[in-house]
Structure 1
């Protein structure tokens, strides 16, 4: 399976509400994730906790999707542009748009950096 196909499957699972299942399947134990708002988080356990904390803040997802996706198979990179609209438990509703750059090794994500601005 190509990295592009893996990235597409990952987004398909997220779209089906299987975000944590996708995380478990595609992310390496030593993954490093970089967020503009919270900085760098190292390791699968720490990133799992961060993802679960975010999910616990969401009351309802109204929609989402991928607007662009590509891969550089030789260098082990995938890039996707996606969006999600959600209402949070605090009552705020927001449409988030982000770009994600992933580095893959042995079929799993070892580094991911997100680029986005917070809706204001």
Structure 2
């Protein structure tokens, strides 16, 4: 199971680095996924989260870099530390580290929370 988890996480990370984050979202996120940014209200359900993701990516005007800094795996949990650098239509240039904590069930993410400075 840990090998499959490692493969899934690596596939998501590679898709993000290749500019195919929405494709990875479609494949690896459960219908009832709950996603949350820091202490903001969580977004529940794949469709609402897809709309949120589409809105975000439609406002990225330049993708200036990304790097996976570390990955930690447990039985049904993964933690990925990212360095991200992009230009956003509303927020301007963003350069920061982010940690994504993902809970998995049946090969898909059912809960993901992002931690980053604001």
**TM norm. shorter chain > 0.5:** yes
Partners in 2 of 1:91 and 1:4 — Cα distance? 33
Q: TM-score, normalised to structure 2's length?
A: 0.92
Give the CA RMSD over aligned residues: 1.4
The within-5 A match list for 1:4-23 is: 4-23=6-25
Which blocks of at least 5 consecutive residues in structure 2 are unaligned? none
TM-score by length of 1: 0.91
Unaligned runs of 5+ in 1: none
Aligned residue for 1:17, secondary structure, equals coil
d(CA) in 2 for partners of 1:100 and 1:86? 17
Extract structure 1 runs of 4+ deviating beyond 6 A.
none
With 51-60 and 29-38 compared, the bigger mean Cα shift is at: 29-38
- Cα distance 1:106–1:63, how it changes in 2: closer, same or farther (>3 A)? same
Aligned length: 116
